Structures are given as C-alpha cells and as structure tokens.
Amino acid sequence: MRELFKTSVIATGGREGRVVSEDNMIDIKLETPKEMGGPGGGTNPEQLFAAGYAACFDGMLNAIAKKEKTELTSTSVKADVSFLKDEADNGFKLAAILNVSVKGVDEEKARELVEKAHEACPYSKATRGNIEVELKVD
C-alpha cells in the first residue's frame, strides 16, 4: 500500500469535549445527545462518522460511474447511523443505513453501481464484518 493522504484530529473531553484537526479546518465542540442523557444542542461522534461515510460513499459511487463511463445526473447519500446497546456483551455498537439516490440510470444499474461502491468504499471496507450496514437505493 502507498499512502496518498494523511490527516490528524485530536479529541479531548470525550462526548462533552472538542475535536480539532491539525490544520484547524475542523474545530467542533461535542455534546452528548439528549436521547443519551446529555444536553444536546451540539454535534456528536455518530454525526461525524455519518458525514464521513456518506461523503466517502458518494465519492466512490461517482468514481465508479465515471470509470464505467456511466453518466449520472445526480447522486446523494444519506447515512443514518444508530448508537446501539449491545445486550450480548453489555457494551455498545453502531449500525448504519445508507440511503443512496442515483439519478440518470435505471434501478438495476443504480443498484449495481451502489453494490460496487460498497465493495470499494474505504468506510465500507473498514466496517465490513464489524457493524451492520444496510443499503437502500432509490
């Protein structure tokens, strides 16, 4: 493997803390969601993960379409990330649903492109076998 890019983000204070990237392009105060007993009103690690996954997946989807010379009119990915209580080990885990919109091709081709993106996307590779990821295509 050859490294193409590297970045660093420092987290301090956990869910009631802050995340700051080395170039200061990200500087976000974190807040625990109200649903988890926190004050809410801020972002949380699950939102940041969902944003990264959605952006990476959409980028890979478009790269595959371009490589296959398939013209798309538009794409979007909405990542729904859930924070779950794992009753089996009394811990926690994540689950994701990727709601993918692919315009400009028929449904069969859209599903084919989404499956290929899921195979190639670095976030999908990183989560494969670790969290449940459901793909929904429209």
pLDDT tens track, the chain, 138 positions: 999 999 999 999 999 999 999 999 999 999 999 999 999 999 999 999 999 999 999 999 999 999 999 999 999 999 999 999 988 898 999 999 999 999 999 999 999 999 999 999 999 999 999 999 999 999
The continuous run of DSSP H or E covering 136 comes out as strand 132-137
Domains detected in the chain? 1-43 (2.20.25.10), 45-137 (3.30.300.20)
- Cα–Cα distance between 25 and 90 in angstroms, integer? 36
- Cα–Cα distance between 138 and 127 in angstroms, integer? 23
Q: Does this model's pTM top 0.75?
A: yes
